[in-house]
Structure formats: C-alpha cells, structure tokens
A and B are shown apart, each in its own frame.
Chain A
Amino acid sequence: SQTIHQWPATLVQPVGSPLSLECTVEGTSNPNLYWYRQAAGRGLQLLFYSVGIGQISSEVPQNLSASRPQDRQFILSSKKLLLSDSGFYLCACGSGINYGYTFGSGTRLTVV
C-alpha cells in the first residue's frame, strides 16, 4: 500500500521568506501526485498535480510553484511568502487504478 511522507508538520514563516515543502511516496511507482491546500473555513483546493517527472500542472494562479525532480518526490515552493499563503497543505498520491487518493499528514503553514 502507498505511504506518503510529508514534512514538516507545522511551520511558521515571516512574510517574504522562501518556502519548501517536501513530499515523498513509498509503495508505488509512477503515481499521480497532487498538492492541495485547505485555508481557514474553506474546502480542499487543488493547487498542482503531476503525472510524471518534470510534469507539473497548475490549477490556480498563485504565489507558489511545484516541482517533481524524482518519480516519488513532489516539492511545493515559494520565493516570497504572502500572508494569504497560510493554510494546511496536503500532498496526495493517486495510483490511477481507482479515483481514491492517499493523503499525507499535512503541513500547517502560518505566515506572520
């Protein structure tokens, strides 16, 4: 079965600082990978998804970027954080066999 490792669990960053969140996957190969964000009082919003190494699709215009340097590694980045980037960030993996995802445990980001 798939396991997603996501870190750190919590992060407090000042406005204007850079960001790097990493997600790694075990137990599968060539997965679809996704970054979601849950902002306060809102649902899960898809930010990026990737169907393979170096392939990134962005769902919404924003201050963030994503990269997939290896098959089972997905990175979410920002050069300069905004207050509005605060939220709960979730990495997810889909094997493509069915529509269900496996989610990581998430990172709570607070931009101050």
Chain B
Amino acid sequence: DQQVKQNSPSLSVQEGRISILNCDYTNSMFDYFLWYKKYPAEGPTFLISISSIKDKNEDGRFTVFLNKSAKHLSLHIVPSQPGDSAVYFCAASRGGSNYKLTFGKGTLLTVNP
C-alpha cells in the first residue's frame, strides 16, 4: 500500500521554464510534507517542506503547494536550471510517528540547456 505516490517517473523541461513536480498521498493523518533532491550515488538532500496548516511555502526558486482536500502537493521550480536535474522525492510524516518519513518513488527531472 503506497501512501505517497509520485505518478510521473520522469519530467523534462527547458532551462528557464517552470518545472512542476506532483505528489499525491492517501493517509489523511500526514501533517508534514517534504521534498528531497537526490543526485546519483549520493544521499538525498532536504529541499523544502510544508506543514498541513499552510497551503504554500516559498524558498527562492522553489515553492511547494499543498491541497489538503485533494491530498495533493506540488513542487514548482522557477526558473529551472540544468543543475536542478536530479531525482526529486516527495515525503510525508504524521505527528507521533517518531518522525518517520514515508517517501514516494521519485521523479527524475531533466532540465535541458
């Protein structure tokens, strides 16, 4: 039972354009959501997060949107840069779970120069 789903295994965009990565979840108890970025043969690095009490969080070129009624979140990268090419993981956690994160399968973003 996959509680966090990233239905697009890959996404390709042109440099300078917007990248939109999507994530859906099924567990209504999740109250915190995170995005991680991963390069090959490296551990994931934290990118941005959002609490369930918010619907938007912005950090520079990265913005995460949360739609709780739809159980959907998205990561927007504007403008996209070739260095953004990586696998992006969506993750979710619920209070009282010892901060265990449930991850999606990831989306490979390729930004073409």
Contact = CB atoms under 8 A, between A and B. Distances in A.
Interface string B27-62: 000001010100001111110010000000000000
Contacts of A4: 43
Chain A interface size, as a band, is 20 to 34
A2 B32 CA distance: 21
B100 A49 contact: yes
A83 B14 CA distance: 40
Contacts of B91: 44
Contact of B99 (A45, A57, A99): A99
Contacts of A98: 49
B101 A106 contact: no
Interface string A51-94: 10000010100000000000000000000000000000010101
Interface in B58-109: 89, 91, 93, 98-106
Contacts of B102: 46
Nearest to A10: B41
A90 B44 contact: yes
Nearest to B103: A44
Where chain A touches its partner, the secondary structure class is strand
A100 interface: yes
Given A44-B89, A100-B34, A108 B41 contact: yes
- Chain B CB count within 10 A is highest, among A44, A57, A103, for A44
A6 B42 CA distance: 11
Nearest to B43: A103
B98 A51 contact: yes
B101 A46 contact: yes
Interface of A: 4, 6, 9, 32, 34, 36, 41-46, 49, 51, 57, 59, 90, 92, 94, 96, 98-106, 108
14 contacts: A43-B104, A44-B91, A46-B100, A49-B98, A99-B32, A99-B99, A99-B101, A100-B34, A100-B46, A100-B49, A101-B44, A103-B36, A103-B45, A106-B41
